Amino acid sequence: MGTVAEFDLSAYLISKAALITAELEQAVPVGYPTTVFESMRYSLLSGGKRLRPALCLASCDIVGGDPSAAMPTACGLEMLHTASLIHDDLPAMDNDDYRRGKPSNHKVFGDGIAVLTGDALWSYALEFILLNTRQVPAERLLRVLHTLINRVGVDGLVGGQVVDIQHEGIEEIDLPTVDYIHAHKTGSMIDAAVVTGAIIGGASEDVIARMSRYARKIGIAFQIIDDVLDGTASQQQLGKTPNKDERAHKATYPRLVGIAESTRRARELVDSAKKELDSFGDRATLLLAIADHICTRKS
Ligand code: GRG
Q: List the single range of 45-59, 161-175, 183-197 with lowest mean pLDDT.
A: 161-175
pLDDT more than 70, % of the chain: 92
Cα–Cα distance list, 283 to 196, 199, 269 (Å): 18, 17, 21
CATH, range 9-296: 1.10.600.10
The confidence score (pLDDT) of residue 128 equals: 98
Q: What is the ipTM of this complex?
A: 0.98
Q: Which of 16, 78, 85 to mutate to test the pocket of ligand 1 (most atoms within 8 A of CB)?
A: 85
Confidence bin at 239 (pLDDT 50/70/90): very low
The confidence score (pLDDT) of residue 298 equals: 82
188 lines ligand 1 (CB under 6 A): no
Distance between CA atoms of 67 and 55, rounded to whole angstroms? 11
Cβ atoms < 10 Å from Cβ of 22: 11
Distance between CA atoms of 291 and 293, rounded to whole angstroms? 5
Q: Which of 10, 13, 87 to mutate to test the pocket of ligand 1 (most atoms within 8 A of CB)?
A: 87
Q: Which atom of ligand 1 is nearest to the CA of 49?
A: 28
Q: Which atom of ligand 1 is nearest to the CA of 87?
A: 6
What SS3 state is found at 102?
strand
What SS3 state is found at 63?
coil
Instruction: Provide mean pLDDT across the span 126-152.
Output: 98
Distance between CA atoms of 115 and 120, rounded to whole angstroms? 9
**Rounded (10°) angle between helices 205-236 and 253-275:** 150
Cβ-contact 125, 80 below 8 angstroms: yes
124 lines ligand 1 (CB under 6 A): no
The confidence score (pLDDT) of residue 170 equals: 87
**Rounded (10°) angle between helices 205-236 and 285-296:** 20
User: What mean pLDDT, rounded, does the chain reach?
Assistant: 92
Distance between CA atoms of 9 and 290, rounded to whole angstroms? 7
Distance between CA atoms of 245 and 96, rounded to whole angstroms? 11
Asked if the model's pLDDT at residue 147 lies above 90, the reply is yes
What SS3 state is found at 115?
helix
Name residue 99's beta-bridge partners: 102
84 lines ligand 1 (CB under 6 A): yes
122 lines ligand 1 (CB under 6 A): yes
Q: Whose CA is nearest to atom 13 of ligand 1?
A: 85
**pLDDT tens digits, 66-95:** 999 999 999 999 999 999 999 999 999 999
Cβ-contact 177, 163 below 8 angstroms: yes
The phi-psi region of residue 3 (left if phi > 0; otherwise alpha if psi is between -120 and 50; otherwise beta) is beta
Cβ-contact 299, 14 below 8 angstroms: no
Ligand 1: centre distance to CA 1 (Å): 31
